[in-house]
Amino acid sequence: MKRDTEIHMKGGVITERNADFCTVRTRIPAGIVTLEQVRGIAKIMKRYGKDMVHLTTRQTIEIPHVDPKVLPKLAADLEKNGTPIGSERDEVVNIVACPGLERCVFANIDSGNIAKMIDKRLFGKEMPVKVRISISGCPNGCTSPMLNEIGISGRVDPLRTPGLCTGCGSCVMYCREEAISIKNGISVLNEDLCISCGTCVRSCPFDLLKSRGVRYLITVGGRRGRHPHIGRELISLSDPEEVAIVVEKVVTWIYRKAWSGRHLYEQMDELQFEQFKTEITSKVTAARDTT
Protein backbone atom coordinates (compact mmCIF):
# COMPACT_ATOMS: atom_id res chain seq x y z
CA MET A 1 0.00 0.00 0.00
CA LYS A 2 2.87 2.33 0.78
CA ARG A 3 4.26 1.84 -2.76
CA ASP A 4 0.86 2.76 -4.29
CA THR A 5 0.71 5.96 -2.25
CA GLU A 6 4.25 6.96 -3.18
CA ILE A 7 3.61 6.46 -6.91
CA HIS A 8 0.31 8.34 -6.80
CA MET A 9 1.94 11.31 -5.07
CA LYS A 10 4.66 11.73 -7.68
CA GLY A 11 4.56 15.08 -9.46
CA GLY A 12 4.21 13.43 -12.84
CA VAL A 13 0.90 11.84 -11.84
CA ILE A 14 -1.81 14.41 -12.61
CA THR A 15 -5.45 13.99 -11.60
CA GLU A 16 -7.72 14.52 -14.59
CA ARG A 17 -11.00 16.41 -14.90
CA ASN A 18 -12.64 13.05 -14.27
CA ALA A 19 -10.97 12.33 -10.94
CA ASP A 20 -11.30 8.58 -11.46
CA PHE A 21 -8.37 8.79 -13.87
CA CYS A 22 -4.96 10.40 -14.01
CA THR A 23 -2.47 11.49 -16.65
CA VAL A 24 1.10 10.24 -16.33
CA ARG A 25 3.82 12.64 -17.48
CA THR A 26 7.19 11.15 -18.38
CA ARG A 27 10.71 12.46 -17.83
CA ILE A 28 12.37 13.21 -21.17
CA PRO A 29 15.06 15.91 -20.82
CA ALA A 30 15.16 18.21 -23.88
CA GLY A 31 12.52 16.01 -25.51
CA ILE A 32 15.20 13.64 -26.81
CA VAL A 33 14.13 9.99 -27.06
CA THR A 34 15.68 7.04 -28.85
CA LEU A 35 13.77 4.89 -31.33
CA GLU A 36 13.88 2.05 -28.81
CA GLN A 37 12.31 4.26 -26.15
CA VAL A 38 9.57 5.33 -28.55
CA ARG A 39 8.89 1.69 -29.42
CA GLY A 40 8.93 0.90 -25.71
CA ILE A 41 6.31 3.54 -24.95
CA ALA A 42 4.14 2.19 -27.77
CA LYS A 43 4.37 -1.33 -26.32
CA ILE A 44 3.59 -0.04 -22.83
CA MET A 45 0.55 1.83 -24.17
CA LYS A 46 -0.79 -1.31 -25.85
CA ARG A 47 -0.19 -3.27 -22.66
CA TYR A 48 -2.52 -0.93 -20.79
CA GLY A 49 -5.08 -0.61 -23.58
CA LYS A 50 -4.17 2.89 -24.70
CA ASP A 51 -4.11 4.11 -28.29
CA MET A 52 -2.74 7.64 -27.97
CA VAL A 53 -0.27 9.88 -26.12
CA HIS A 54 0.04 13.63 -25.68
CA LEU A 55 3.19 15.56 -26.62
CA THR A 56 3.47 18.45 -24.14
CA THR A 57 4.86 21.97 -24.45
CA ARG A 58 7.64 20.94 -22.07
CA GLN A 59 8.88 18.29 -24.50
CA THR A 60 7.58 15.28 -22.59
CA ILE A 61 5.12 12.51 -23.42
CA GLU A 62 1.96 12.17 -21.35
CA ILE A 63 -0.13 9.01 -21.05
CA PRO A 64 -3.78 10.00 -20.51
CA HIS A 65 -6.73 8.28 -18.83
CA VAL A 66 -4.73 5.97 -16.57
CA ASP A 67 -6.49 3.96 -13.87
CA PRO A 68 -4.61 4.72 -10.59
CA LYS A 69 -4.71 1.01 -9.75
CA VAL A 70 -2.15 0.23 -12.47
CA LEU A 71 0.26 3.03 -11.50
CA PRO A 72 2.86 0.81 -9.75
CA LYS A 73 3.16 -1.53 -12.76
CA LEU A 74 3.07 1.35 -15.25
CA ALA A 75 5.76 3.22 -13.30
CA ALA A 76 8.00 0.14 -13.29
CA ASP A 77 7.55 -0.32 -17.05
CA LEU A 78 8.35 3.32 -17.77
CA GLU A 79 11.43 3.20 -15.53
CA LYS A 80 12.70 0.11 -17.34
CA ASN A 81 12.14 1.91 -20.66
CA GLY A 82 14.31 4.87 -19.60
CA THR A 83 11.31 7.23 -19.64
CA PRO A 84 10.30 7.28 -15.96
CA ILE A 85 7.47 9.23 -14.35
CA GLY A 86 8.25 12.93 -14.61
CA SER A 87 7.49 16.03 -12.58
CA GLU A 88 4.81 18.71 -12.59
CA ARG A 89 4.26 20.15 -9.11
CA ASP A 90 6.49 22.45 -7.04
CA GLU A 91 9.63 20.77 -8.29
CA VAL A 92 12.30 21.18 -10.94
CA VAL A 93 10.29 19.95 -13.92
CA ASN A 94 11.34 18.61 -17.33
CA ILE A 95 14.26 20.59 -18.79
CA VAL A 96 13.40 22.10 -22.19
CA ALA A 97 15.94 22.77 -24.96
CA CYS A 98 16.06 23.58 -28.67
CA PRO A 99 18.09 21.38 -31.11
CA GLY A 100 21.14 23.64 -30.67
CA LEU A 101 24.37 23.09 -32.56
CA GLU A 102 23.36 19.59 -33.60
CA ARG A 103 20.93 20.90 -36.23
CA CYS A 104 20.09 24.60 -36.07
CA VAL A 105 21.98 27.09 -38.29
CA PHE A 106 21.31 29.89 -35.81
CA ALA A 107 22.50 28.05 -32.68
CA ASN A 108 25.53 29.18 -30.71
CA ILE A 109 25.54 26.48 -28.00
CA ASP A 110 24.93 22.75 -27.54
CA SER A 111 21.51 23.10 -25.90
CA GLY A 112 20.69 19.40 -25.62
CA ASN A 113 23.82 18.37 -23.74
CA ILE A 114 23.47 21.29 -21.33
CA ALA A 115 19.88 20.20 -20.67
CA LYS A 116 21.00 16.64 -19.91
CA MET A 117 23.77 17.93 -17.62
CA ILE A 118 21.31 20.04 -15.61
CA ASP A 119 18.71 17.25 -15.59
CA LYS A 120 21.15 14.84 -13.93
CA ARG A 121 21.86 17.37 -11.17
CA LEU A 122 18.44 18.82 -10.49
CA PHE A 123 15.43 17.10 -12.05
CA GLY A 124 12.58 16.40 -9.65
CA LYS A 125 14.05 18.32 -6.71
CA GLU A 126 11.23 19.40 -4.40
CA MET A 127 10.93 23.18 -4.31
CA PRO A 128 8.73 25.83 -2.67
CA VAL A 129 7.69 26.91 -6.19
CA LYS A 130 7.63 25.24 -9.58
CA VAL A 131 10.97 25.72 -11.34
CA ARG A 132 11.01 25.51 -15.12
CA ILE A 133 14.38 25.58 -16.88
CA SER A 134 14.65 26.33 -20.58
CA ILE A 135 17.66 26.48 -22.90
CA SER A 136 17.83 28.23 -26.27
CA GLY A 137 20.80 28.07 -28.63
CA CYS A 138 20.48 31.74 -29.62
CA PRO A 139 18.52 34.93 -28.85
CA ASN A 140 15.70 33.78 -31.16
CA GLY A 141 14.47 32.10 -27.97
CA CYS A 142 12.44 29.31 -29.58
CA THR A 143 12.04 27.66 -26.16
CA SER A 144 11.21 30.98 -24.43
CA PRO A 145 14.09 30.87 -21.91
CA MET A 146 13.37 34.37 -20.61
CA LEU A 147 9.79 33.33 -19.76
CA ASN A 148 10.96 30.51 -17.48
CA GLU A 149 12.06 30.62 -13.85
CA ILE A 150 15.57 29.88 -15.13
CA GLY A 151 16.57 30.54 -18.73
CA ILE A 152 19.81 29.97 -20.63
CA SER A 153 20.52 31.34 -24.10
CA GLY A 154 23.61 31.21 -26.29
CA ARG A 155 25.16 34.52 -27.33
CA VAL A 156 28.05 35.54 -29.58
CA ASP A 157 29.55 39.04 -29.49
CA PRO A 158 31.06 40.13 -32.83
CA LEU A 159 34.65 41.30 -33.01
CA ARG A 160 35.75 43.71 -35.74
CA THR A 161 39.42 43.97 -36.62
CA PRO A 162 40.23 47.55 -37.73
CA GLY A 163 41.39 47.89 -41.32
CA LEU A 164 40.04 44.56 -42.61
CA CYS A 165 36.37 45.27 -43.41
CA THR A 166 35.69 45.64 -47.17
CA GLY A 167 32.33 47.35 -46.64
CA CYS A 168 30.49 44.76 -48.74
CA GLY A 169 27.36 45.16 -46.60
CA SER A 170 26.55 41.44 -46.12
CA CYS A 171 26.38 41.81 -42.35
CA VAL A 172 24.09 44.84 -42.75
CA MET A 173 21.71 42.81 -44.90
CA TYR A 174 21.58 39.86 -42.48
CA CYS A 175 21.23 41.85 -39.24
CA ARG A 176 17.56 41.73 -38.26
CA GLU A 177 18.08 44.29 -35.49
CA GLU A 178 19.37 46.97 -37.92
CA ALA A 179 22.33 47.29 -35.57
CA ILE A 180 24.94 47.53 -38.35
CA SER A 181 25.51 50.25 -40.93
CA ILE A 182 28.21 51.10 -43.46
CA LYS A 183 30.05 54.33 -42.72
CA ASN A 184 33.13 55.53 -44.59
CA GLY A 185 33.38 52.17 -46.36
CA ILE A 186 33.36 49.95 -43.24
CA SER A 187 30.69 48.30 -41.12
CA VAL A 188 29.85 49.97 -37.82
CA LEU A 189 28.01 48.25 -34.97
CA ASN A 190 25.47 49.98 -32.74
CA GLU A 191 26.00 47.98 -29.54
CA ASP A 192 22.79 49.32 -28.02
CA LEU A 193 20.79 47.50 -30.71
CA CYS A 194 22.93 44.35 -30.97
CA ILE A 195 21.49 41.26 -29.24
CA SER A 196 24.61 39.11 -29.78
CA CYS A 197 22.96 36.55 -32.06
CA GLY A 198 26.16 35.93 -34.05
CA THR A 199 24.43 36.10 -37.45
CA CYS A 200 26.75 38.83 -38.70
CA VAL A 201 29.80 36.71 -37.87
CA ARG A 202 28.45 33.78 -39.86
CA SER A 203 27.33 35.98 -42.76
CA CYS A 204 30.71 37.62 -43.50
CA PRO A 205 31.75 36.18 -46.91
CA PHE A 206 35.41 36.98 -46.27
CA ASP A 207 35.48 35.59 -42.72
CA LEU A 208 36.70 38.96 -41.45
CA LEU A 209 34.15 39.28 -38.67
CA LYS A 210 35.19 37.18 -35.68
CA SER A 211 33.60 36.09 -32.44
CA ARG A 212 34.70 37.20 -28.99
CA GLY A 213 33.64 33.72 -27.89
CA VAL A 214 30.38 32.01 -27.05
CA ARG A 215 28.67 32.99 -23.84
CA TYR A 216 25.72 31.56 -21.93
CA LEU A 217 23.31 34.20 -20.63
CA ILE A 218 21.40 33.03 -17.54
CA THR A 219 18.14 34.75 -16.62
CA VAL A 220 16.02 34.23 -13.50
CA GLY A 221 12.40 34.92 -12.58
CA GLY A 222 10.58 34.63 -15.89
CA ARG A 223 6.99 33.49 -16.15
CA ARG A 224 4.70 32.19 -18.87
CA GLY A 225 0.93 31.85 -18.62
CA ARG A 226 -1.78 34.46 -18.27
CA HIS A 227 0.61 37.12 -16.91
CA PRO A 228 3.91 36.62 -18.79
CA HIS A 229 7.00 38.24 -17.34
CA ILE A 230 10.56 38.54 -18.66
CA GLY A 231 13.27 37.12 -16.40
CA ARG A 232 16.12 39.25 -15.07
CA GLU A 233 19.69 38.82 -16.28
CA LEU A 234 21.90 37.09 -13.73
CA ILE A 235 25.26 36.43 -15.38
CA SER A 236 26.99 35.49 -18.64
CA LEU A 237 29.39 32.53 -18.60
CA SER A 238 31.74 30.97 -21.13
CA ASP A 239 31.93 27.38 -19.82
CA PRO A 240 28.96 24.94 -19.90
CA GLU A 241 30.19 23.29 -16.69
CA GLU A 242 30.10 26.71 -15.01
CA VAL A 243 26.55 27.10 -16.30
CA ALA A 244 25.44 23.87 -14.60
CA ILE A 245 27.12 24.92 -11.34
CA VAL A 246 25.50 28.38 -11.34
CA VAL A 247 22.07 26.97 -12.22
CA GLU A 248 22.43 24.62 -9.24
CA LYS A 249 23.25 27.62 -7.04
CA VAL A 250 20.16 29.43 -8.34
CA VAL A 251 17.98 26.41 -7.51
CA THR A 252 19.52 26.24 -4.01
CA TRP A 253 18.84 29.96 -3.54
CA ILE A 254 15.19 29.49 -4.54
CA TYR A 255 14.88 26.41 -2.31
CA ARG A 256 16.21 28.26 0.75
CA LYS A 257 14.62 31.68 0.23
CA ALA A 258 11.36 31.47 -1.74
CA TRP A 259 7.87 31.14 -0.29
CA SER A 260 5.23 28.70 -1.48
CA GLY A 261 1.99 29.89 -3.00
CA ARG A 262 3.51 32.67 -5.13
CA HIS A 263 5.33 32.66 -8.44
CA LEU A 264 9.05 33.26 -8.27
CA TYR A 265 8.86 36.47 -10.32
CA GLU A 266 6.58 38.02 -7.69
CA GLN A 267 9.23 37.47 -4.98
CA MET A 268 12.40 38.60 -6.73
CA ASP A 269 12.80 41.89 -4.86
CA GLU A 270 11.91 40.35 -1.51
CA LEU A 271 14.46 37.62 -2.15
CA GLN A 272 17.07 40.34 -2.77
CA PHE A 273 17.90 39.16 -6.28
CA GLU A 274 20.36 41.99 -6.93
CA GLN A 275 22.38 41.01 -3.85
CA PHE A 276 22.33 37.37 -4.98
CA LYS A 277 23.49 38.47 -8.43
CA THR A 278 26.45 40.31 -6.91
CA GLU A 279 27.36 37.28 -4.79
CA ILE A 280 27.24 34.92 -7.78
CA THR A 281 29.38 37.23 -9.89
CA SER A 282 31.95 37.53 -7.10
CA LYS A 283 32.10 33.75 -6.56
CA VAL A 284 32.51 33.03 -10.28
CA THR A 285 35.27 35.65 -10.55
CA ALA A 286 37.07 34.27 -7.48
CA ALA A 287 36.85 30.71 -8.81
CA ARG A 288 38.36 31.79 -12.12
CA ASP A 289 41.21 33.58 -10.33
CA THR A 290 42.19 30.40 -8.51
CA THR A 291 42.39 28.28 -11.68
Same-domain status, 189 and 45: no
Same-domain status, 170 and 242: no
Instruction: Output the pLDDT for position 161.
Output: 82
Which residues lie below 8 Å from residue 57, measured CB to CB, with a gap of 6+?
A: none
Structural domain ending residue among the three candidates 23, 54, 80: 80
Q: Which domain holds residue 178?
A: 163-208
Model-level pTM? 0.93
Structural domain ending residue among the three candidates 174, 193, 208: 208
Instruction: Output the pLDDT for position 4.
Output: 46
Same-domain status, 152 and 167: no
Structural domain ending residue among the three candidates 56, 80, 104: 80
Same-domain status, 7 and 107: no
SS3 of the chain? CHHHHHHHCCCCEEECCCCCCEEEEECCHHHCCCHHHHHHHHHHHHHCCCCCCEECCCCCEEEEEECHHHHHHHHHHHHHCCCCECCCCCEECCCEECCHHHCCCCCCCCHHHHHHHHHHHHCCCECCCCECEEEECCCCCCCCHHHCCEEEEEEEEEECCCCCCCCCCHHHHHCCCCCEEEECCEEEECCCCCCCCCHHHHHCCCCCCEEEEEEEEEEECCECCCCCECCEEEEEECCHHHHHHHHHHHHHHHHHHCCCCCCHHHHCCCCCHHHHHHHHHHHHHHHHHCC
**Residue 155 counted as domain residue:** yes
Same-domain status, 138 and 251: yes
The total domain count for the chain is 3
Instruction: Output the pLDDT for position 105.
Output: 95
**Residue 247 counted as domain residue:** yes
CATH number of the domain that residue 200 is part of: 3.30.70.20
Same-domain status, 58 and 116: no
Instruction: Output the pLDDT for position 291.
Output: 65
Give the residues of the chain that fall short of pLDDT 70: 1-5, 291
Same-domain status, 273 and 156: yes
Q: Measuring CA to CA, how many Å separate 40 from each of 13, 28, 95, 204, 273?
A: 19, 14, 22, 46, 44
Same-domain status, 134 and 181: no
Same-domain status, 194 and 66: no
Same-domain status, 140 and 278: yes
Same-domain status, 204 and 69: no
**Residue 130 counted as domain residue:** yes
CATH number of the domain that residue 63 is part of: 3.30.70.3340
Instruction: Output the pLDDT for position 1.
Output: 32
**Residue 170 counted as domain residue:** yes
